[in-house]
A and B are shown apart, each in its own frame.
Chain A
Amino acid sequence: MIGLVVLNILGTIWSLIEPTYLYKSWSYQFDDDYLQLSYGILKREWVTIPMTKIQSVSTSQGPIMKQYHVRQVKVETMGSSHAIPALEEEIALRLRKKLAEYAKLKEVDDK
C-alpha cells in the first residue's frame, strides 16, 4: 500500500516535470533527401528516414491542441511510424506539404 502511494507521488512529480524535458529533447530537421528526428529523455534516439521511403504524412489535432493552435504530425514509413508531438499549426501544415512533395519521388527498386 505504502509502496503504491510512493509510486503514485513519484509518478505525479514526474508527469509535472516531464513536459519540459520532452519539449527540450525533441528536435527535427529535414532536407531534400532525409527527415531526421531526435527525441527521448532517459534514452535518446536519433532517427534517419529517407524521404523516398515515407509512405504517408498526416496531421491531427485534439481540442486542447486546437486551443493553442498546435498540431501533431505523423509520418509513416514502410517499417514504422513516428509522431512529432506538437508543432505550431502553420509549421505543421507546411511540413506536411513539404514531406508529401518529397515523398513523391520513387526509387527504382520499389517497383
Chain B
Amino acid sequence: MRYHPLTIAFRIYQLVKSNLLFALILFVFQKDSEFWLWKYGKYAFLLFIILRLIYIVTAWFVEKYEWKDLMFHIHKGIFVKRTSTIPFSKIQNVTRKTTVFHKLVGLTSLTFETAMDGEDDAIHFEVLTEKQANDLIDLVQPGKQTILQKEQADIAQMDEQENEDLEQEAVQQKNRMVHFTPKRKDLWKASFTSLSFLAIIPIAVGAFDYIGPLLPETDQVEGLFQVFLNSKWLLFVIIILAVIVAVSFGVGRTFIRYGKYKISSDASYIYIDRGVLDESYFAIEKRKIQGLEIEQTWIKRIFGLAEVKLISTANPKNVDGSVNVNSLYPFLPVNKAYHLIKELLPIYQLNGQLERLPRKSLWVKLLRPSWIWIVATIGLAYFKPAIFQIDQAWWIVSLLLLCCILLHRILDYIHTRYAVSEDQVQWWHGGLTSRMFITKRKNVVEITNSQTLLQKYFQVASVTTTNRSVPAHKEKINDIPLPYAIDIEDWYLKRKEDVEFEEA
C-alpha cells in the first residue's frame, strides 16, 4: 500500500521548515555579498532543494508498506531498495501525534516503536487519516493480536471454557479506565515548579539574534536603553512588564504542553493522551515495563509534586524534543503518584516501611573524599582569584563548596531508604533531587556489590542493579550495611523462582 498522498505535502512542509532560516540568510541578509561561500552557496542550496523535492515525490511512488501474517513489510529507498520486516509482537509502543499541520488537514501521524536499536527500529506513518490510524492501531495492538493468536491455538483445542475466558478478556480490553487528568490547580503548580517562565530567556535572546540585522542602527538602540536607565519609573514598569510577559508565557507554555493530559489503562496496556496544539497518543504494554522511578527535584518537593518515569526497553530518544514518552506526568502530586502506580501496575507493591541507613553510613558519606572539592580547591589555591575584590576569596569559596557538598551528602543520608521484599526491590536516594526506584527481581539483569576500603572499614557496601533499557539502566544504592548487601545478593540468586523459560 502507498502512503497517504499528503505525505508529500508534509515532507515538503518539513523541508521548508528546516531550511527557512538558511534560505533567509542566503537570499535576504547576504543577498549582495560577494563572498564566494554565499555566492555559490545559493546555487548549491537551490540544487539541494530541487533534488530533495524530486526525491520526495519519487519516494512516494516507490515506498510502500503492507502487512501479512502478523508482520509489517516496509519497502523503502529509490536507489538502494530496502525491505524491513517487523512482526507485530516486537512493537513496544504506539505513538500517535497530531501536529498543527495535521490538524489543518484533519489527519494524523503514527509511529510504532520497537526495542530494536538501529536505523529501521521504528515504523513511521507521517500522514494518514484518523480511520487508517485507528485501524492500524487495532491491527497491532491491544489484545487483538493475542486474541488472534489464541484463536489460532483454539482452533486446535476447541475448548469451550477457554472461549469464555477469551470473551471476558475481550470485554476487559474495552474497559479503559481513566486514572488521571490534570486539574487547573495542578497546572498552575506545574508552571511554577518547572520554572518554565525562564524559558523565555533563550527564546528572547534567539529572537533578538534573529531580528538583530533588521533593527535600525545599534547606536539608536543603545540610546533607547540610556533613556530607560535614566528614568527609574520607566525601568520599573519595563521590568514589571517583562516579568508579566515571562510568567504568562511560561504558564501558557505549560498549559499547552500539559493541559490536555489523560492517563488511562486497561488490562494489559497503559495509554497517555496529551497535547492541545500537537496532540499525541501513546500506548505501552504493561508487561514491557522494566521498572519504575519517582523523581523529585527540591523545587517539586516544596510543592509536593513528583514525576513518575517508566523504565522500558522502548527507545527513549525524543524525535522532536517534545515531552519524554517515558514519563507518565512530570507534575503529579505525591499521593496521586503512589495511587496511580497502585492502579496502573498493581504488581508493584509500594512499601510504606522502608529501612533507614545506620548512623555509621553517615560517617562513610561524610568521610569519602570529594574529588570535585579537591580539584576545585587546588585550582583555587593555585590561581587565588580575587572575587568581589576580596583577596582571601579563594578559601572562602573552597569552604562554601565543601559545605554544599557535605550538606548534599547529609541530605542523601536522610533520603536513603530501602526495602527488599519477596520479588521486588525498592529504594529512595539522592540529595537535592531525590529518586525512588522500584523493580522486580526478574527484570534485574545483573547485580553488582562493591566495597571500597573506606566502606570496608565501616562494614558497609554499595549495590548496583542493571535493568534492560536503551541504554541499560543502572541504579546504585550506597553505603548500606554489609549483611544487607549480601542478603540482596542471595535474594537475587533466588531469581529463578520468578522466571519462566521458553521451551526450546
B453 touches A48 (CB 8 A): no
CA distance A104 to B492 in the complex (A): 21
Per-residue contact bits, chain A 34-52, to B (CB 8 Å; 1 contact, 0 not): 1000001011111111101
Q: What does DSSP make chain A's interface, helix, strand, loop or mixed?
A: mixed
Known interface pairs A50-B495, A108-B502; A43-B451 also in contact (CB < 8 Å): yes
CA distance A78 to B451 in the complex (A): 24
**B:445-495 near A, CB below 8 Å:** 445-453, 456, 466-468, 472-474, 489, 492-493, 495
A71 touches B (CB below 8 Å) = no
B64 touches A (CB below 8 Å) = no
Residue of B nearest to A42 (CB): B453
A53 touches B445 (CB 8 A): yes
Residue of A nearest to B452 (CB): A43
Size class of the contact patch on chain A: 20 to 34
Known interface pairs A34-B493, A80-B466, A80-B472; A42-B448 also in contact (CB < 8 Å): no
For B, the interface residue count at a CB cutoff of 8 angstroms equals: 30
A48 touches B452 (CB 8 A): no
A33 touches B (CB below 8 Å) = yes
B500 touches A (CB below 8 Å) = yes
CA distance A104 to B503 in the complex (A): 11
CB contacts (< 8 Å) of A34 on chain B: these are 493
CB contacts (< 8 Å) of A45 on chain B: these are 448-451
CA distance A50 to B65 in the complex (A): 39
Contact for A108 among B467, B473, B501, B504, CB less than 8 A: B501
CA distance A34 to B489 in the complex (A): 12
How far is the CB of B248 from the nearest CB of chain A, in Å?
Answer: 45
B501 touches A105 (CB 8 A): yes
CB contacts (< 8 Å) of A48 on chain B: these are 446-448, 489, 492-493
CA distance A78 to B444 in the complex (A): 11
Per-residue contact bits, chain B 177-219, to A (CB 8 Å; 1 contact, 0 not): 0000000000000000000000000000000000000000000
19 A–B contact pairs at CB < 8 A? A33-B496, A43-B450, A43-B452, A45-B448, A45-B449, A46-B448, A46-B449, A48-B492, A52-B499, A53-B446, A77-B446, A79-B472, A79-B474, A105-B504, A106-B501, A106-B504, A109-B287, A109-B499, A111-B89
Residues of chain B having any CB pair with chain A under 8 Å: 89, 287, 442-443, 445-453, 456, 466-468, 472-474, 489, 492-493, 495-496, 499-502, 504
